[in-house]
Structure 1
Amino acid sequence: MLKDERNTKMDPYFNKLKNWKEEFGLLREIILDCGLTEDFKWMHPCYTLDGKNIVLIHGFKEYCALLFHKGALLKDPHGILIQQTENVQAARQLRFTNAQTIQEMQLIIQDYIEEAVHIEKAGLQVELKKHDEYALPEELANKFVEIPDLKTAFEGLTPGRQRAYIMHFSSPKQSKTRESRVEKYIPHILDGKGLNDK
């Protein structure tokens, strides 16, 4: 696939869209004008440079968006990039609710894409939070004292699985809810399973 060439295998995807059809079409043209290669990843149109992900288009109920894979590194002079949740470290979104806004912002969108390309060419990386920077919820730490095997099993999990548990256990505001989440997943952890493992 040549750069800035429409991937005809993607046409059925764009033609079948029920929501955001015009918006996706406009975003697609803007991105292709920036010389990226069109692909399909994670069930979304994804645009790459030399096989590296730069940006993808995705739609939600309330808005459609461009997702910049290394968006945290973009300068964002217009203050328009959005971090989806506090746990998203690298990616950032540009959100749109209508085609007119996309047309009005075309030059700004292109600037952001070009900066994302420059970041990728320079080999820059988002510095991700280290595993030990995640605070262990008190409710889990208490269970480790109560059940030493639980601590051993938890430490035997991959860093990604540990992180998923820590975030899941930490998110409720009430200690009671955090405690019940920990209780629920004790058998999982003891079996060496991740949060979503069956």
Structure 2
Amino acid sequence: MLKYVAEATANQKLGAIVKPEISKQLILPPELKDLFKKDEELKKDFAKLPDCKQREYGEYIIEAKKESTKQRRLEKIIPLIKKGVGLNDHYRKT
């Protein structure tokens, strides 16, 4: 443990900033891709969202196990995407 503290102290004295690498890839489920093929305007609205919000929507659909749940979730997110808001924006403080 002392070794890590010493390394951190040395990095701080040198002014080095160590940032973690974030490499989450955007994985779009087939259901969402099919929806974009049917609705080009929705695809454009989705593309305007930041990567983190796009991943949020993709993961939300992928996490559903039943097809009926996936369809319900797709119906829920369509108006949110068109508004340009993230799935969990209503929980975030402004």
Q: Give 1:125's match in structure 2, choosing from 19, 26, 44.
A: 19
- Under a length normalisation based on structure 2, what TM-score does the superposition of the two structures give? 0.71
Superimposed CA distance per residue, residues 112-158 of structure 1 (whole angstroms, 9 cap, x where no aligned partner): 8x63772974532221115xx22101111111011111101100112
Name the structure with the higher strand share. 1
Q: Which amino acid aligns with 1:183?
A: E
Quote the residue 1:145 is aligned against.
37
The Cα shift of 1:195 comes to 0.8
Superimposed CA distance per residue, residues 97-122 of structure 1 (whole angstroms, 9 cap, x where no aligned partner): xxxxxxxxxxxxxx28x637729745
8 Å Cα contact 1:161/1:194 also seen in 2: yes
In structure 2, runs of 5+ residues without a counterpart are none
Q: Distance in 1 between matches of 2:60 and 2:38?
A: 20
In structure 1, runs of 5+ residues without a counterpart are 1-110
8 Å Cα contact 2:29/2:61 also seen in 1: yes
Larger radius of gyration: 1
* RCO higher in structure (CA 8 A, sep ≥6): 2
8 Å Cα contact 2:26/2:54 also seen in 1: no
Q: Distance in 2 between matches of 1:175 and 1:139?
A: 10
- Under a length normalisation based on structure 1, what TM-score does the superposition of the two structures give? 0.37
SS class of match (1:193): coil
8 Å Cα contact 1:188/1:194 also seen in 2: yes
